[in-house]
């Protein structure tokens, strides 16, 4: 973890919040700062929990559980590289001159601490609705821009607000499960009996309404959580401002090639041709096409090969923790799948379900499973087959059921710190400084989701 910045812990300052919401927020912030371990320690602890569940619930032997774990450790190599590229190319795009300039202009019109909280939550929510990888990074960089310009804003809450806005990705056009079940040739097409159109998942009116409601209410909720002046943790922006490489005049043929803009333009044109051909040929928006869009736009926006290389090199620093944890989560998913734990959890919940309530229980089981498999794609590979079979046997709506599982994933992300890792690296904050401020948004998002799933 990079060096943390800011003033002493908020728990060392007098409690300034004088309303109920601030007092509750202060309680959770203090509790998280005292008891929440580093995400890597958490993943090790969850591994042991999975072993215990396998032994007691699924009645597996210890050698079997260890065998399943070791066999699955490297099962996410391809996906971990895809996710790393989402974050890295998203970072490179977000720090490019056009995008960074836009963030700068937005930040320049914000002057008060609560307005800053409103702004960063909205920006993170909108960009995450478009792409979860871009939104995760853009929201954090927006928070840093605001922290640089707005004095008196509580920095941990500012970063947490960006992260809570990011949770809207589960309702957006890059949500993994809806995109997967809408993609021709996906592994679930046969069991589903075809594809589930996006109009039955992310573009369902109730889901679109949820996105609008959260985009309006989450910024307000986060702003109301802002503490009084005595409790604010401010920052010295120079401590985390992005290092700028000094541009010198090219002195050699090699250096001139590195700064040749035409290379980036030609590659971007090739990429655009590929993407047009992909979509005209019936291709869908998946993680690979998202990475291609980020890659080619980033190359175009940075202007030269060497400028893009430098931006990517900075972005790589933010994914180390994710890469480290992927083998452990892959191991847990292997144990969960081989031992049938996901089926046990889902079967228990489905056993009390009807065609109307199956999405709700699928939502809750998804929330539980996401602690052990915090990746929508891998998560759906475990839970999807059983939920699809159950939906078909009960006559439940397949679009609602798959969307409910996706919503359970994104809801859990507000209290599962796996996706906070790149945010922590960029923000230079400890996870304990942030997670306490995501509890109230977590409760609100859960209420909105559960009401929607029960009445749609």
Our CA angle for 427, 89, 422, nearest 5°, is 25
Q: What is the distance of C-alpha 215 from the center of its chain?
A: 16
The reply to whether 248 falls in a domain is no
The reply to whether 111 falls in a domain is yes
The reply to whether 85 falls in a domain is yes
Domain count, the chain: 1
The reply to whether 246 falls in a domain is no
pLDDT in the model for residue 213: 97
**Which of the two residues, 37 and 170, has the higher pLDDT score?**
170
Q: What is the DSSP secondary-structure string of 235-278?
A: --GGGTSPPPPPP----SHHHHHHT-HHHHHHHHHHHHHHHHHH
**What proportion of the chain, given as a percentage, has pLDDT over 70?**
91
* pLDDT greater than 80 at residue 211: yes
The reply to whether 3 falls in a domain is no
pLDDT tens for each residue of 371-419: 988 888 878 888 888 888 889 888 999 999 999 999 999 999 999 988 8
Q: What is the DSSP secondary-structure string of 404-434?
A: HHHHHHHHHTTT-GGGGHHHHHHHT--HHHH
The reply to whether 253 falls in a domain is no
pLDDT tens for each residue of 279-305: 898 776 667 887 899 899 999 999 999
Distance CA 392, CA 199 (A): 19
**Which of the two residues, 11 and 233, has the higher pLDDT score?**
233
**Which of the two residues, 345 and 167, has the higher pLDDT score?**
167
The reply to whether 153 falls in a domain is yes
pLDDT tens for each residue of 6-23: 444 443 333 344 588 888
* pLDDT greater than 80 at residue 274: yes
The pair phi, psi for residue 26, each rounded to 5°, is -60, -40
* pLDDT greater than 60 at residue 353: yes
Task: Give the range of the structural domain holding residue 155, as residue numbers without chain letter.
Answer: 10-239+258-455
In the block, residue with structure tokens 């190359």: 299
The reply to whether 4 falls in a domain is no
The pair phi, psi for residue 340, each rounded to 5°, is 75, 25
205, 432 Cβ separation under 8 angstroms: no
Q: How far, in Å, are 64, 313, 328 from residue 58 at the CA level? A: 11, 44, 20
């Amino acid at each position: 973890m990079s060096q943390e910045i800011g003033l002493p812990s908020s728990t060392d300052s007098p409690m300034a919040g004088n309303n109920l919401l601030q007092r509750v927020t202060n309680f959770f912030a203090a509790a998280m700062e005292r008891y929440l371990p580093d995400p890597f320690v958490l993943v090790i602890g969850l591994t042991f929990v999975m072993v215990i569940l396998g032994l007691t619930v699924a009645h597996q032997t210890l050698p079997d559980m260890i065998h399943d774990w070791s066999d699955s450790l490297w099962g996410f190599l391809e996906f971990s590289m895809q996710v790393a590229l989402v974050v890295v190319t998203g970072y490179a795009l977000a720090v490019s001159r056009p995008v960074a300039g836009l963030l700068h202009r937005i930040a320049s019109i914000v002057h008060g601490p609560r307005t800053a909280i409103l702004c960063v939550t909205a920006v993170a929510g909108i960009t995450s609705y478009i792409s979860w990888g871009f939104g995760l990074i853009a929201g954090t960089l927006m928070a840093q821009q605001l922290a640089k310009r707005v004095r008196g804003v509580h920095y941990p809450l500012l970063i947490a607000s960006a992260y809570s806005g990011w949770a809207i990705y589960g309702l957006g056009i890059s949500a993994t499960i809806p995109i997967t079940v809408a993609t021709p040739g996906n592994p679930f097409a046969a069991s589903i009996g075809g594809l589930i159109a996006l109009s039955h998942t992310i573009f369902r009116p109730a889901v679109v309404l949820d996105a609008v409601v959260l985009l309006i209410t989450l910024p307000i909720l986060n702003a109301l959580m802002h503490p009084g002046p005595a409790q604010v943790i401010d920052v010295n922006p120079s401590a985390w401002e992005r290092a700028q490489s000094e541009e010198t005049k090219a002195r050699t043929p090699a250096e001139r090639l590195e700064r040749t803009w035409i290379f980036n333009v030609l590659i971007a044109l090739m990429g655009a041709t590929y993407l047009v051909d992909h979509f005209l040929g019936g291709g869908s928006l998946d993680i690979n096409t998202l990475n291609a869009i980020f890659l080619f736009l980033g190359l175009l926006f940075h202007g030269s090969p060497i400028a893009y290389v430098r931006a990517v090199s900075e972005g790589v620093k933010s994914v180390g923790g994710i890469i480290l944890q992927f083998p452990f989560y892959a191991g847990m998913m292997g144990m969960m799948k081989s031992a049938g734990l996901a089926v046990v959890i889902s079967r228990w919940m489905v056993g009390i379900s009807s065609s109307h309530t199956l999405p709700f229980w699928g939502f809750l089981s998804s929330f539980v499973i996401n602690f052990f498999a915090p990746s929508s794609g891998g998560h759906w590979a475990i839970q999807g087959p059983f939920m699809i079979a159950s939906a078909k046997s009960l006559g439940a709506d397949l679009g609602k059921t798959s969307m409910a599982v996706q919503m359970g994933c994104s809801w859990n992300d507000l209290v599962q710190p796996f996706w906070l890792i790149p945010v922590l690296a960029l923000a230079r904050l400890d996870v304990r400084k942030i997670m306490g401020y995501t509890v109230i948004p977590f409760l609100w998002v859960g209420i909105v989701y559960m009401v929607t799933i029960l009445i749609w």
